[in-house]
Structure 1
Amino acid sequence: FKPEDLARLSAFIETCRKNPEILHIPQLAFFRDYIRLMGGKIPEATKCSEGNTAAADSPKDESKPTPAPGDVHMKEPESDESDVELDNDGVIEGETEPLPEIFQASGAEVSEETLEESNNKRSEAMAALSDGNVSDAVRSFTEAIKLNPGSAALYAKRAAALLKQERVNAALQDCDQAVKLNPDSAVAHKLRGRAYRLLGKWLEAAKDLRLACKLDCDEQAMEWLSEVQPNATKLEEHQRRKERRKAEKENQARRDRVKKAQKAQEEARKKADEEDRHTSGRGGGGGMPAGMPDLSDLMADPELMAAFTDPEISAAFQDVSSNPSNIFKYKDNPKVASVINKMMKKFGGSGGGFGGVGGTGGMPTDLGGMGFEGFGDDVASGGTPAKADEPKKDSAAAATDDDLD
């Protein structure tokens, strides 16, 4: 390769690293095939690039349902965090060996003599690290911590040595203790972020490394943050989408509950209106007195209804409706009196009149229980009414008549 060719290749790789979406353009299909052949993974394409490369890169998945037109509430499939394509290069499993001891500070002030001895052990540990003797360094740091257990810096130093041994769980423990002793320790947050990164806990790693850069930014913290940022961003976006779907689902459920409640209220209102109309419709015609019995049974009696078709009876009831006191005019009319008696029996002797029947008005309420004895129901049923006894003449009148003869 010529130097200029290598320079162009290096620039291309750097461009791909900063902008992985470029890998999805159709012209780089051969390069994508090469990456897959070498066991690599192509970062997930965004919606914009998916439209241009979906047909060239992979066959269309026809097994997924297509939303029907107008189906705006089609449920989106739930996706797990494992569905997010992550770059797990460099991730290791945590060790299973026992963790180093954590010494709790007694709260008493460390004497100068003890502090000096602790510093000597710290110096021995640093020298061992310089010589590459990591195990000796861990032991010396442990002795220094035992002498001065309230030092966050000593726990952070031992955590750095443990990371060199890839004892990430032990390093996490020391960093937790260091942060507990000094929440503003940038070194402790940086090392804990590194430990999380090695375990593949991208969100936790990004959180600690971002805080470390905020507290005391250094080149190593920025480099480690750049490693975890792509995966952390994907997971954060995934979490936001998940929370947004959850909120939309809750909002839709709330809207459905409101609609259901409104529908129930509307149905109840319509039912109440219908019952009111039905109740008002059951009342009699004009002039129906309050407390009048329900006339539905009366109007269902075929004999009475037939009687009201008689012009004489109808005229009598019209007369009484216009002047209730005229009822006494029909006491001696067997046809009308029999109908009155039958109606009174149906009402059980209750007061009231005959409003709403045959177009008549109301009867007086003070005539309740009125009936005319001697007149049966046979008139109302169409039979021939019994002839009423003629009134007897008194003896004086009879004598006068005889004298006239």
Structure 2
Amino acid sequence: MDSGKVRELKEFIASCKSNPSLLHTPSLSFFKSYLLSLGARIPPQPKTEPVDDENYDDILEESDIEFDTTDVVRPDNDPPQKMGNPSAQVTEDQRDAAQLAKSKALDAVSQGKLDQALDLLTEAILLNPHSAILYATRASVFVMLKKPNAAIRDANTALKINPDSAKGYKTRGLSRAMLGLWTEALSDLHVASKIDYDEEIGMALKKVEPNAHKIEEHRRKCERLRKQKEQKRAQPKKQPKDEAQDKDTLSALKDGQVIGIHSVGELETKLSAASKTSRLAILYFTATWCGPCRYISPLYTSLAEKYQKVVFLKVDIDEAVDVAARWKVNSVPTFFFVKNGKEIDSVVGADKNTLERKIAQYSSPF
């Protein structure tokens, strides 16, 4: 092994010793799996503290996603390969010589002599720098050598010469997948499959699509959280005065109790308080001489105790004639259901089952 790579490996091992949690990094899952296959013991991943929603931007990164990184390689940082002169004039003899060099290169590939194939394809490119297929073919050899950056340079040149080069899109897609650029790889492979589908593209798509879909789902999640955060920030913060008023409003609603109403002004105050707190209000019209009212009133009181977040109001039509007239009460008992200041339903008569069913229905937040 190259001495430089050995030195890098030693530095990596030293980093893992000082910080074992590195082994839980998603991009190192292949190394973790290898260690486990040898019987190694991996320290458990340290628990993280709960994160404040306000700081979600700091943690929702793509590095947190579990990818299949089986075929991912380290980026190649070799000096750029030789490229042809795009403005050069190419003779017929040069085209023939380039084609011959390409044929020899393909023979070398079939024999596993990839470095020799690269030399021959470079020779062909220098002879005929206007051929997209020569660049795309050399890119495919770089893919075989696990040199994705070099392959991408050639694929980009091929696509610049011929924007419809299926091999250009294919080699660039395969190279981007090697670098873990899942979304970009998926885009290239989809284009390549539409131009000229083959089995290799199909196999690559099966590996790339799940990772690309994870990124897309992750980004949708981030977008939802960002919108929630913006909505939260857009809501005006309550001032101490507003909070005091809210407390007064809640105390005036008397949770779990039936509130007697004796005037139009008193009713409007209670209905306004119910609206401010987004509560359902029930307006019960009764009379002392009403037999069914005497039957339903104890149930109404027990329902107030059961549904403590509902505002239960009670009006005697003989005491508060103006209230009964405004609500056009023709018979008792009558129950009006009010939400956000608007009548949404009513029950006429002492039908206890319908009354409770509608209370349960309209008091639900959904």
Query: TM-score normalised to the size of structure 2?
Result: 0.49
Larger C-alpha radius of gyration, 1 or 2?
1
Q: Which one has more relative contact order, counting CA pairs under 8 Å at least 6 apart?
A: 2
Higher strand share: 2
